[in-house]
Amino acid sequence: MKIIIHGGFFSESSQSDEVKKQKQDSLKNIIKKSYEFLMSHDSMETVIYAVKLLEDDPLFNAGIGSQIQRDGKIRLSASLMDSEKNKFSGVINVEDIKNPILLAQYLRDEEDNVLSGEGAISYAKNKGFDYYSSETEERRNDYINNLKSSGVGTVGCVALDKNGNLAVATSTGGKGFELPGRVSDSATIAGNYVNKNCGVSCTGVGEDIVSGAVAAKIVTRVTDGFSIKDAFSKTFDELKEIDGFAGAIGIDRLGQMYCQESHPKVVYASFDGEELIVFE
């Protein structure tokens, strides 16, 4: 059993050592809880559990504490996929709910697995999701000052369970001050993808990740015989051609975990029951 999580990028220019320590401590706590959960649950249940914990932590740009768009509103996106059913589900630009990853979970049972905007909001209301404002004082101050530099945040998880099944989940509050209607990578296979060979969750600038088809490329290359390290390396080499800003975490079917970034530093942690690794 293996698990790896990420909490977006750490901007050394705009965030203090105190915030860095807070994020490290939070990731340690979340990944330990999530691994314990994985011991008695499958990979799909675990990635939902882990990402919900990340969404509930205002340190990260997903769920509580999400970025505010140009029109003053918060819109959230999230998606799920597993290797057992090979099924993708997600929501794009949903408003006024706390945990978009739980809404993506509901959509796994629907014929239409990805909903956006008003359709996603209506679906959430029909499923009994309570109204919730994800805004924090810090994000409101960022919005007032038009501070867009911190908007490379997303959270995600990849897990391998005891039965050898992989699952991925990714959630984001956007990049901040974007045009309403903008679609990020998080609810697409560019940012969140898995099959029986590998699972990958991405963070960074959504437009770059979509242009590089990052998650899908890495998973496809592992499927075609690349090692997970070589699949990451080749994909990120191609991303350099467009000066892409991205980071990704992954696990292959052999349990090998990997993280790579085009710009430092991806906020991530991994755990296999023995060795705990947290970003420095």
pLDDT tens digits, residue range 224-240?
A: 999 999 999 999 999 99
Q: Is the pLDDT of residue 149 over 80?
A: no
**Distance in angstroms (rounded) separating the CA atoms of residues 179 and 116:** 15
Question: In the chain, what are the domain boundaries?
Answer: 2-278
Range with the poorest average pLDDT among 133-137, 198-202, 205-209: 133-137
- Phi, psi dihedrals of residue 59, rounded to the nearest 5°: -70, -25
Q: Is the pLDDT of residue 196 over 70?
A: yes
Catalytic residue among 46, 154, 172, 235: 154
Residue range 68-96: mean pLDDT, rounded: 95
Q: What pLDDT is attached to residue 147?
A: 55
Query: 189 or 144, which is more confident?
Result: 189
Q: Give catalytic status of residue 154 as yes or no.
A: yes
Residue range 44-49: mean pLDDT, rounded: 98
Q: What pLDDT is attached to residue 228?
A: 98
Name every residue whose Cβ is closer than 8 Å to that of residue 158 and which is 6 or more positions away in sequence. Answer: 3, 4, 47, 166, 167, 168, 194, 199, 200, 201, 249, 250, 251, 257
29-40 pLDDT tens trace: 999 999 999 999
For residues 159 and 52, the answer to whether their CB atoms sit within 8 Å is: no
> What CATH number has the domain spanning 2-278?
3.60.20.30
Q: What is the mean pLDDT of the chain?
A: 93
- Phi, psi dihedrals of residue 174, rounded to the nearest 5°: 90, -175
- Tell me if residue 172 falls in helix, strand or coil: strand
**Strands ordered across the beta sheet of 198-204:** 192-194, 198-204, 246-252, 257-261
Task: Look up residue 89 and give its two tokens.
Answer: 């589900």
